[in-house]
Amino acid sequence: MRLYPIAAALILSFPACAEWKVTENVNPEGPGKAIDVRGEDGRIIARFVYGEGQFKPYLHVFGETGEFLTNPGLDREGKPSGGYPHHRGIFIGWKIVSELGTDDLWHMTKGCKMEVAGLQKAVAADNQATIIADVLWRAGRATNGSDLLVREKRTLVISRPAPKRTQIDAAFALTPERDLRLAGDLQHSGVHFRASNEVYTRQKETSYLTEPEGVSKGDQLKWCRMLFPIGDRWYSALQLNAPANPVEEVSTRAYGRFGYFFKKSLKKGEPLELRYRFVIEQAEVPAEGENALQQRSRARIQAQSLYDQFTSKGKT
């Protein structure tokens, strides 16, 4: 299989004077490489995982004491672990139909994979970090010597706009290398967040809010918020959907996976840009009765405010 070398000019930059730090290491929790993002106090905030032994790149998010909030899918020996191990952190995946047939770039079966061909940027600045990766989506078979389906430019901007709150602005620029269709179904395609496998064992404790309230299908879906437990703490994960995204449905699962889905046909060379914001933060312990209703009302007001901030910049 042909690999694309990283151009010499695209060198990782680790500014010594930045309050935040970005470092590339061997992944300490499994196979592959890891780009760690740490705050001014040295605490780990996020980790971009990719490379040998990983069939898709993804972003981990960490809690207030360095605990995993997201799912790695593999153990330290590189073996699948936990429920639905193909779900990993903040990730993208689709079932794709093309002249090569149907390729499952969600479960990554029959040789399908996404590989990082190069890193354009991995830098820290004051109170934020930016990672830009070139990702190749490969089919399980080839025609005319090529198995390439999509060239992706993934941009992740990680920041801490408030105490105990991590914000990830995630942009996915997809350029198909052949005529194809982003297909699949609601549960097996899209851009998703997958919580730690601990949540898989505590499914009765998770809950969701969506906007519009109670709506899971339509072209006006704005945001989705999951509340979930990790140890004795509670966290919320909010996914904000840019109005220009061609979203049709939102998937919510009690075991801690949720995200947006759509189908779309693309011509070779025709770019598609997707933009989301994820906001992950420590949350209140769930209340009961009337207090629970008030708590959900506060959470809904906050989520809508964050959505309004996200869309007010005009980058739709």
Residue 27 lies in a domain: yes
Q: What secondary structure does DSSP assign to 77-112, as a single string?
A: TS-B-SSSTT--SEEEEEEEEETTEEEEETTT-TT-
* 291-311 tens-digit pLDDT: 999 999 999 999 999 999 999
Q: Residue 13: which residues within 8 A CB-CB, separation 6 or more?
A: 121, 122, 123
Cα–Cα distance between 259 and 225 in angstroms, integer?
A: 10
| Overall number of domains in the chain | 1
Largest CA distance in the chain: 64
Residue 274 has pLDDT above 70, yes or no: yes
CA separation (Å) from 82 to 71, 196, 200?
Answer: 8, 9, 8
| CA-based radius of gyration for the chain | 19
Domain range for 40: 21-194+252-277
Tell me the whole-structure pTM to 2 decimals. Answer: 0.92
Confidence category of residue 313, pLDDT binned at 50, 70, 90: low
Residue 60 lies in a domain: yes
Residue 10 lies in a domain: no
pLDDT at 125 (0 to 100): 87
Residue 93 lies in a domain: yes
Location of structure tokens 């680790």: 14
Q: Count the neighbouring beta carbons within 10 Å of the beta carbon of residue 52.
A: 10
Residue 199 lies in a domain: no
**Tokens standing for residue 208:** 């969701």
Residue 216 lies in a domain: no
Confidence category of residue 217, pLDDT binned at 50, 70, 90: confident
Share of the chain above pLDDT 90, in %: 89
Residue 75 lies in a domain: yes
* 147-158 tens-digit pLDDT: 999 999 999 999
Residue of 5 and 55 predicted with greater confidence? 55
Residue 95 lies in a domain: yes
